[in-house]
Amino acid sequence: MVINLTDIGRLEITGVNELLAYSITENDSKDFVYFEKYQDLFELHIDSFSYFDSAVEEILNGKSSQKFTITFENIETENPNYQGKQYVDFNWIDAESLWVSERNGKKTIVGRHDLMSEINLKANYDYIGIYIATDNLWVGEDFPLADVVLIA
């Protein structure tokens, strides 16, 4: 699979049996989450966010718990009406493994779990969130389900 950012801020994707959700936020960051359903993988990048950078460092140092969660919401977390969540509010799942990779020059956190094959991106929600927890912090992002691209 190949992912390229076009001149107009859209992601151009080629590949087989892959799902991709992406969001380009107001501050022109290029956050993305990539699901490879048939290999039970997800890959997350949050641009210009120090907590994400810290999570990357913890995972690289090998001294981190390996947890993640996936949420479905009808309101984005950046909305002032969104009621914020704490660590204990999430249903954390032990990942089979978490590691750091790179895609198009961006550091990513990659996780593996057989739950990935069960994700229903046609759910009656507006946003999917993917969150990672290390020993010292948790970080994540939500993405509009309207922006999910299925490549068959």
Tens-binned pLDDT, residue by residue, of the chain (152 aa): 455 555 555 545 454 445 555 544 444 568 888 887 778 888 999 998 999 999 999 999 987 789 999 988 888 888 788 888 889 999 999 999 999 999 878 899 999 988 877 777 667 888 888 999 999 999 999 888 877 766 54
Euclidean distance between CA atoms 70 and 74, whole angstroms: 14
70: amino acid identity, one letter? I
46 in any annotated domain: yes
60 in any annotated domain: yes
Q: In 3D, which of 4, 3, 48, 54 has the Cα closest to residue 27?
A: 48
Q: Residue 4's pLDDT is what?
A: 53
Radius of gyration of the chain (CA): 15
107 in any annotated domain: yes
CB of 102 closer than 8 Å to CB of 37? no
Distance of CA 65 to the CA centre of its chain: 17
28 in any annotated domain: yes
Total of domains in the chain: 1
- What's the domain range around 50? 17-151
CB of 57 closer than 8 Å to CB of 72? no
12 in any annotated domain: no
